[in-house]
Amino acid sequence: MEQVYTLKEAAQLLRKAENWLKVNARKNDWGSKLGRTRLFTETHLAEILASGTSQAAHPRKPRPIKAKTPKVVMPNPVAGASVTPLRARPEAARSYGRTA
């Protein structure tokens, strides 16, 4: 009688992620289902290894490489130049739609 493995045990023996095995077992009809549980025998595991499937059922698309934006360097104020200091907005301008 052959040894029977659960999905978790089979994934460990195959050195694959559980989700990879679950998706590919569903897609390729590997293993046997007993209710909601998928079971694998040594014959099933040999079949999986013989199939040579190493790609995921739904391979991910590579992420685009984001271009680095250059840092904006603010010029130093020139000595004697007039610089307007920042001020808070007047209360009337901060009403945000509220009526007094």
For 82-95, how does the pLDDT look when each residue is reduced to its tens digit (9 = 90+)? Answer: 777 787 777 766 66
3-state SS assignment for residue 5: strand
Number of structural domains (the chain) is 1
Residue 63 lies in a domain: no
Residue 18 lies in a domain: yes
Residue 73 lies in a domain: no
Condensed to tens digits (0 to 9), the pLDDT of residues 5-56 reads: 999 999 999 999 999 999 999 988 899 999 989 999 999 999 888 887 655 4
Q: Using CA atoms, how far apart are residues 42 and 47, in angstroms rounded to an integer?
A: 9
Residue 9 lies in a domain: yes
Residue 90 lies in a domain: no
Residue 75 lies in a domain: no
Residue 68 lies in a domain: no
Find the domain containing 43 and state its range: 4-51
- Tell whether pTM > 0.85: no
